[in-house]
Amino acid sequence: MGREKILLAHGSGGKLSYELIKGLFLSAFENPVLGELDDSARLDPVEARLAFSTDSYTVKPLFFPGGDIGKLAIYGTVNDLAMAGASAKYISISFIIEEGFSLDALRDIVDSITQAAKHTGVKIVTGDTKVVEKGEADQLFINTTGIGYIRGGVDISGRNGQLGDLVLLSGSIGDHSTAVLSQREGFQFQTDLRSDCASLHCLVKEMLDASTKIHVLRDPTRGGLATVLWEVANASRVGIVIEEERVKVREEVRGVCDLLGFDPYYLANEGKLVALVPQSEAERVLEAMRENPLGREAMIIGRTVEENPGRVLLKTGIGGHRLLEPLSGELLPRIC
Amino acid sequence: MKYLDEFRDRRLAEALVRRIAQTSSGRLNLMEVCGTHTVTILRNGIKQLLADETNLISGPGCPVCVTSNQDLDKAIAMARHQGVILASFGDMMNVPGTSSNLQKERAGGRDIRMVYSAMDAVKSAKANPDKKVILLAIGFETTAPTIASSILEAHKQGLENFLVFCIHKLIPPAMKALLEMGEINIDGFICPGHVSAIIGSRPYQFIAQNYRIPCVVTGFEPLDVLQAIYMLILQRREGRCGVEIQYSRAVREEGNPTASKLLGEVFEVCDAQWRGLGMIPGSGLKLRGKYERFDALKNLELQIEDSREPQGCICGEILRGIKEPFECKLFGERCNPEDPVGPCMVSSEGTCAAYYKYNPRSE
């Protein structure tokens, strides 16, 4: 059993495909909408505004401290929906699998997907599996697309930042990238660092319970905190000033960054959010964040300003300042 | 002592900045030779913070940046050679050669692997006995000992398929060449910390003695750099010219004798071609006769294209400290980290990449 591999026939639409779908996916993701097994999932009509988001997931290694590609694929899309103030309801999932991939590993990933879906209350209602020849994909790629209902009275967008808003960050930055990097071939960092991979739907709900006047929510995934802040400053045409001292970076993360020449402001996070909130609401929202385990280390890290619209100024820990520019190019480890 | 927080302490930094302001009696041209210092200076906003007291000039201390186009074209030719695995450090991948780069070559099907240490390349050679594994050995004195030990390890294991393309360079001869060119007026050198951990502080003595320029061997945290700048200003003010060690937690006057011995065993000094600085006598390392069989250049027949420097790129002048990236017509427009024209825009330690990212010009 343990040596079973995915074969091209698992994706051909024939008997093996059927067994894989029925035996693995259907039994794991079980729900009435998926159970109809039609070409399309049919969803009930709703009053709410809808949020709709898609993302493809590739990560190396597939399993890392604190998570795996399956958990990432669910939480990532649920989080994207949450950043519009929406709670995720339905999700589609597509697998592109490289021939020869371990069936056991796939089972573990499906298991993790099931748990993540259960935790977030999202239903997997449609899906697809393709198997490609060895070498045509790197082990496993997953795409998820989600639909969520936007809470009434809420208007959250990257364009909604206003003068006088405070910038809130839910916790430390760079944990995910560093945890994944430390597991790559060739690195032998001994850290206890885990990915922060988490679903932000509860945190967002509690923040919105505290105030529906939140202007902007973003999760700083690829491109990191710097890129997200820059995007918001641009879309909202405001300047943003950040106090470096207030941005938490774990010591292990700083160590790894120093070694490889990376900057934690550009590293991906998978369970953090940035919020722009009117000053009058900020304390209340911050308090709500800190009561949730995912926001325990939340801080007000800065504010919007009139000067330099579209730019993000970082006041450095030693009293200097510099501009935070968006990520450019690719992060490549340095020589010395 | 955790070695990070202590060297990023705001109160201590502010006290040092005040002292620098009090001690200073005119704006000094200080050159940070090493790219890691450039990053510390820009990332922490030190350049603007001390703009009244110092003009901080970036020097030729990014190994990727000073690699000549010709050497890059040779590396590309090696990657194209039948049956070769080229092992390279990450930040070499994107450096443009005359008409290609390693990333493009990899996308075109060449076997180019990113390694994090020289020993990874030795392992790769052992695991792929039917291929020739070539380590693209670039860097300064800091990384040269690791290359030396990989060669000794391959020698010990009797590996026949491990080769090294050695374009390692030495820092003090480049500093001398820079001073001899006479293009730039330098009042003090912020000397590289990690290079000096290997070679010690004595190799800079000639700069203090012959050129009357103070030197301070410096660590890489913001407080290290601030303290070193203070030490340089003090030397100037008191009319002294010496080589001092600020980075005393890592550097000794005599350097690291074990590493130096390793270097002497495997390498001998040779002339080397630097981008921007040209041929500098005694500034490179080549394999000693005993280890020649590991020399990729001597063991492969290569078809190398005619090398040309990219048009309009002023990386050479930037590496010599006579121009700032903002003075380049290509900077930020035609040349950016996504699509770099010159090597200084590639490595995270490169002057142009650091200026692009940390933009010390605007408020």
In this predicted structure, the answer to whether residue B362 has a pLDDT above a threshold of 70 is: no
- Optimal mutation site among B114, B225, B357, interface A, most CBs of chain A within 10 A: B357
Is B268 a member of any domain?
A: yes
Number of residues that make up chain A:
336
Angstrom distance (rounded) from CA B235 to CA B214: 7
Q: Within B84-238, where are the H helices?
A: 102-107, 118-127, 144-157, 171-181, 193-199, 205-211, 222-237
Least CB-CB distance to B10: which of A187, A311, A319? A319
Which parts of A2-68 fold into alpha helices (H)? 15-20, 27-29, 32-35
Q: Is the omega angle on the peptide bond into residue A61 within 30 degrees of 0, that is, cis?
A: yes
Sign of CA dihedral B95, B96, B97, B100: positive
CA B100 to chain centre: 22
Question: What strands, in cross-sheet order, belong to the sheet with A140-150?
Answer: A49-57, A140-150, A86-98, A123-132
- CB-neighbour burial class of residue B274 (10 A; exposed 0-12, middle 13-18, buried 19+): buried
Of B336, B348, B358, the CB nearest to A261: B348
- Give residue A188's pLDDT: 64
- Is B73 part of any domain? yes
CA–CA dist A85, A41 (Å, integer): 24
Closest-approach residue (CA) in chain A for B124 = A186
Chain centroid offset of residue B313 CA: 19
Say what the ipTM of the complex is.
Answer: 0.73
Supply the pLDDT for residue B357: 86
Residue A141 pairs in a beta bridge with A96
Low pLDDT (below 70) residues in chain A: 1-3, 185-189, 329-336
pLDDT, mean of residues B249-271: 96
Is B82 among the domain residues? yes
**B13 contacts on A by Cβ (under 8 Å):** 317-319
How far is it, in rounded angstroms, from Cα A64 to Cα B212?
55
Q: Which residue of B has its CA nearest to A328?
A: B337
A residues 25-84 near B, CB within 8 Å? none
Q: Please report whether residue B125 resides in a domain.
A: yes
Residue A51: both structure tokens together: 């949020």
CB distance from A186 to chain B under 8 Å?
yes
Q: Which domain holds residue B105?
A: 65-170+256-296
- Judge: B90–A333 Cβ closer than 8 Å, yes or no: yes
Whether B305 is in a domain gets the answer no
What does the pLDDT read at residue B363?
A: 45
B338 touches chain A (CB under 8 A): yes
pLDDT of residue B220: 94
Say yes or no: B122 contacts chain A, CB-CB below 8 A: no
The predicted structure's pLDDT at residue B94: 87
pLDDT of B164 above 50: yes
Q: Reply yes or no on whether the pLDDT at B361 is more than 50.
A: yes
Number of structural domains chain B divides into:
1
Instruction: Report the pLDDT value the prediction gives residue B6, as an integer from 0 to 100.
Output: 80
Distance (Å) from the alpha carbon of A332 to chain B's nearest alpha carbon: 5
- CATH code for the domain in which residue B166 is found: 3.40.50.11740
Burial of A4: CB neighbours in 10 Å, binned 0-12, 13-18, 19+: exposed
Give the C-alpha distances (Å, rounded to integers) separating A285 from A163, A219, B35: 18, 16, 42
Question: Is residue B102, in this structure, part of any structural domain at all?
Answer: yes
Residue with tokens 């074990």: B258
DSSP class of B6: G
Residue whose structure tokens are 């501009």? A323
Q: How many helices (H) and strands (E) in chain B?
A: 16, 11
- Considering A4-18, A30-44, B93-107, B158-172, the range whose residues carry the highest mean pLDDT is B158-172
Closest CA to B258 of B165, B138, B152, B121: B152
The answer to whether A244 touches A225, Cβ cutoff 8 Å, is no
Q: Tell me whether residue B278 is in a domain.
A: yes
Is residue B220 situated within a structural domain?
A: no
A262 touches B: beta carbon within 8 Å: yes
Task: Write down all domains in chain A, each with its CATH number in brackets.
Answer: 8-150 (3.30.1330.10), 158-323 (3.90.650.10)
One DSSP character per residue, B278-308 reads EEEEEEEEEE-GGGGGGBHHHH-----PPP-
What 3-state DSSP class applies to A275? Answer: strand
CB pairs under 8 A between A and B: 126
Distances in Å between the Cα of B30 and the Cα atoms of B58, B235, B252, B272 are: 9, 13, 23, 26
- Which residue matches tokens 């990376």? A262
pTM above 0.90, yes or no: no
Say what the pLDDT of residue B2 is: 61
